[in-house]
Amino acid sequence: MNLLLYGAPGSGKGTQANMLRSRFGIPHIATGDMLRAEIAAGTPLGLQAQPILAAGQYVPDDIMIGMIRNRLREPDSAGGFIIDGFPRTVPQAEALDVLMRDLNHHLDRVLYLKVEMAELLERLSGRLVCPKCQRTYPPGTVACAVDGTPLVQREDDKTEAVRPRIEIYLTKTVPVLEHYRGAGIVSEIDGRGTIDQITGRVLNAIGENGRFGFH
Ligand code: AP5
Ligand code: MG
């Protein structure tokens, strides 16, 4: 099962990917999390990426394509994966098509979590993350439910970075959806409601496809 989660910043990609990972035991490949791990480790890529993320801009395509290529070649991706945060531009989508062919994989479904702007802004301003495992939590949570680490606010959830993130999503990432609509593999999911309600819709979207044998 090879899934791609698509949606605006704050639409719930990470939240639903965590559920899918636990439920199906396949890796969650999140380019934003990978970049934040590079930043935390102080690698050359992390140093380059830090100001880009803080400003809500995109890391150059060639870097991101190289990163996803290396990750999908790791053995744990062979039995299925959930990609979150890639592709974010049409050149990235085209590169992923080539990579899928090279690896003899295909994407089963693109799950588009659709959430209106006001709700996105509210979610991002209140979001808390675990700096250790990157799981996300709603406002009011104090520590990570998995490893007990105190939660923090993400640097790019500060007000000055949220607007540019939404703007770049609208200009560069919305066309990516059209790329996949052409392939007929997009499931549009109403992303409003409780996390559990959306989980139910995500599972339906996968099950309804009929090829996977689970619901
Ligand atoms: P990335 O980490 O991918 O950020 P993003 O796309 O902006 O998405 P978010 O992680 O902010 O939101 P999400 O959809 O995962 O929502 P979440 O589940 O957390 O990328 C960060 C940066 O890295 C980019 O800006 C860019 O600079 C760079 N980058 C990454 N990939 C790149 C690429 N391919 N090319 C170039 N640059 C790249 O939910 C949000 C909040 O809402 C949480 O608090 C959650 O608890 C809450 N929530 C979730 N569901 C619900 C619900 N149903 N009701 C109420 N609250 C909810
Ligand atoms: Mg995320």
- Assess whether 181 carries a catalytic annotation: no
* Ligand 1, atom nearest to 126 Cα: 44
- The active-site residue out of 36, 154, 172, 201 is 154
Is residue 127 annotated as part of the catalytic site, yes or no? yes
* pLDDT digit string, tens, across residues 20-55: 999 999 999 999 999 999 999 999 999 999 999 999
What 3-state class would DSSP assign to 62? helix
Of 18-27, 109-118, 132-141, 206-215, least confident by mean pLDDT is 206-215
Q: Enter the tokens of residue 137.
A: 């939590």
User: How many CA atoms are closer than 13 Å to the CA of 172, on its beta-carbon side?
Assistant: 21
Backbone angles phi, psi at 138, to 5 degrees: -75, 170
The response to whether residue 168 sits with its C-beta less than 6 Å from ligand 1 reads no
**Residue 141: which pLDDT band, with cuts at 50, 70 and 90?**
very high
Predicted local distance difference test score (pLDDT) of residue 50: 97
Residue in the block written with tokens 């899928």: 100
| Residues sharing a CB contact under 8 Å with residue 73, sequence separation 6 or more, in sequence order | 103
**Spatial CA neighbour of 187 closest among 131, 95, 103, 108:** 108
Question: Atom of ligand 1 at shortest distance to CA of 192?
Answer: 53
Distance in Å, CA 101 to ligand 2 centroid: 26
Specify whether 132 is catalytic: no
